[in-house]
Amino acid sequence: MGKEELEKRIVLSPDGEPIEIDPINDYFCQDLPEVEKKSSIAILEKFQNWARSRSLWVLGFGTGCGAIEMRPLMTPKFDAYRYGIQWRPTPRQSDVFVISGYLSVKTLKRVIRSYEQMQGPKYVIALGSCTINGGMYWDSYNTINRLDHYIPVDVYIAGCMPRPEALLAGFEQLKKIIREGRGEGANLYAENFEWYKANQKKIIKDWDMPDYNW
C-alpha cells in the first residue's frame, strides 16, 4: 500500500474525542458481489432482455488506441444512436463497457474499478487483438495479454484496429446475446470472484482499494 491517505490514522471528532479511521474499511462497502437471479417469470425476463438490448448505454472510457474508433459511431455516417446505443459519462448509469484496445496495468486498475461500479446486468465488449492475446504488445512488460482473466467478456472484436463497422457488428452480436439471455457477465464475475480477484491481484502490485468497491 504505502499511500498516506489510506493508512489508519487517529483524527479528532468535532466533539474533541479522538477516533480511529481506517479509510479502506470505513469509506468503502466491503460486501462481495452476489449472483443476481433472473426473473422467475420467463416472459417478463424475455421482455426485459429485449428492452436491455435496445437501450445500450456505453461507458465513455477509452482505454487504449481503439477509443478513436468509438467516436465515429456518433457521427452522421455511422449514427449508432439509431440502434439505441448512447454514451454515458458515469459507470453507475452504463451497461456496456467497451475495452478499446490494449490495457496497461495502470489502466486495468481503473477498468476494474469502473467495471465493479457498473450495475448488473452489465456487458463487456473487447475491441481489438490486444484484448484477445496481447496483439502487437504481446511481449510488453506493461500490457496485459488476456482480458478474460480479469473481467468476463461478452463479445470480442478482432482486428488491429477494427473499423467502426466492425464495432457496430459487435454491438449487433451483443444484442443477440442479450436477447438470448446469455449476457450474464455480472453473474459469471460473482461466481468466479476469487479466481478473477487472484488474477487481478497478481498483476496489480499496489492494490490499494477494497476488493469490491461499490
> Residue-wise over 170-204: b if at least 16 C-beta within 10 A, else e?
bbeebbebbeeeebbbbbbbbeebeebbebbeeeb
Q: What is the sign, positive or negative, of the torsion defined by CA atoms of 188, 190, 192, 197? A: positive
Interface positions, 6-35, toward other proteins (CB under 8 A): none
Interface pick for other proteins out of 46, 149, 179, 197 (rule CB under 8 A): 149
Interface pick for other proteins out of 67, 72, 104, 193 (rule CB under 8 A): 104
CB of 48 to other proteins, least distance (A): 4
Interface pick for other proteins out of 62, 66, 121, 185 (rule CB under 8 A): 121
Interface pick for other proteins out of 9, 54, 163, 176 (rule CB under 8 A): 54
Q: Which of 162, 92, 88 is nearest to 125 (CA)?
A: 162
Interface positions, 70-89, toward other proteins (CB under 8 A): 76, 79, 81-82, 84, 86-89
Interface pick for other proteins out of 21, 41, 42, 138 (rule CB under 8 A): 138
Q: Is 151 exposed, middle or buried (0-12, 13-18, 19+ CB in 10 A)?
A: buried
Binding mask 172-211 for other proteins (x = CB under 8 A): --------------x------------x--xxxxx-----
Where are the strands (E) in the chain, listed by range?
9-12, 18-21, 56-59, 85-88, 96-100, 123-127, 155-157
Q: Which of 166, 116, 113, 155 is nearest to 132 (CA)?
A: 155
Site residues (vs other proteins, CB under 8 A) = 36, 47-48, 51-52, 54-55, 60, 76, 79, 81-82, 84, 86-90, 92-93, 95, 104-106, 109, 119-121, 132-134, 138-146, 149, 186, 199, 202-206, 214
